[in-house]
Amino acid sequence: MANTLVEKILMKNTGIKHVEVGDIVISHPDMFMVHDIYTPYLYETLKEMETEKLDDPDKVTIMFDHCLPTAVAKNDSVHYDAGINLSKKYGIKKVHIGEGICHTLMHEYHYAKPGTVVTATDSHTTTYGGGGCFCTGIGTAEMGAALTTGELWFKIPSAIKVILKGKFKKGVYAKDLIETILGDIRSDGAQYKSIEFTGEGVKNISMESRYTICNMGLEAGAKCALFPADEKTAEYFDMDLKDIEWVKPDEDAKYERTLEYDLGDIQPSLSCPQGVDNVHGIDEVKGKKVQEVYIGSCTNGSIEDLGVAANILKNKKIAPYMKLIVVPASNTIFKQAIELGYIQTFIEAGGVISHPSCALCCGMPYGLLSDDEAILSTANRNFIGRMGTKKSLIYLGSPAIAAVTALNGEISDPREYLEAEA
Query: Residue 74 pLDDT more than 80?
Result: no
pLDDT at 110: 98
What pLDDT is recorded for position 167?
Answer: 97
Mean pLDDT of 331-350: 98
pLDDT recorded at residue 206: 98
| Cα first-last separation, the chain | 51
Backbone angles phi, psi at 32, to 5 degrees: -125, 145
Q: How far is CA 59 from CA 30, 40, 150, 237, in A?
A: 6, 19, 9, 18
Q: How confident is the prediction for the chain on average, in pLDDT?
A: 95
Of 356 and 9, the one with more pLDDT: 9
pTM of the model: 0.96
Q: Is 5-264 assigned to CATH 3.30.499.10?
A: yes
pLDDT band per the 50, 70, 90 thresholds, residue 97: very high
* pLDDT value at residue 89: 97
Percent of the chain at pLDDT above 90?
Answer: 88
| pLDDT above 90: residue 362 | no
DSSP state of 330: B
Note if the bond before 69 is cis, omega within 30 degrees: yes
Q: Is the pLDDT of residue 422 over 90?
A: no
User: What does the pLDDT look like over 283-298, one tens digit per residue?
Assistant: 999 999 999 999 999 9
Return the minimum-mean-pLDDT range out of 303-307, 308-312, 362-366, 370-374: 362-366
Inform me whether the pLDDT recorded for 381 exceeds 90.
Answer: no
d(CA 251, CA 235) in angstroms, rounded, equals 24
Of the pLDDT bands very low, low, confident and very high (cuts 50, 70, 90), residue 75 is low
Q: What is the pLDDT of residue 1?
A: 85
**Exposure string (b/e) for 132-152, b if CB count within 10 Å is 16 or more?**
bbbbbbbebeebbbbbbeeeb
Q: Is the pLDDT of residue 72 over 80?
A: no
Phi first, then psi, for residue 245 (nearest 5°) are: -65, -15
Q: Where are the domain boundaries for CATH 3.30.499.10 in the chain?
A: 5-264, 269-421
pLDDT at 415: 96
Using alpha carbons, select from 153, 155, 129 the residue that is nearest to residue 20: 155
Per DSSP, helices labelled H in 21-121 are 39-48, 74, 81-90, 102-108
- Decide if pLDDT at 76 tops 90: no
State in words which class domain 269-421 has. alpha beta
pLDDT at position 367 over 90: no
Which pLDDT score is estimated for 361?
79
Tens digit of each residue's pLDDT (9 = 90 or more) over 187-246:
999 999 999 999 999 999 999 999 999 999 999 999 999 999 999 999 999 999 999 999
| pLDDT reading at 183 higher than 90 | yes
The answer on pLDDT for 419 being more than 90 is no
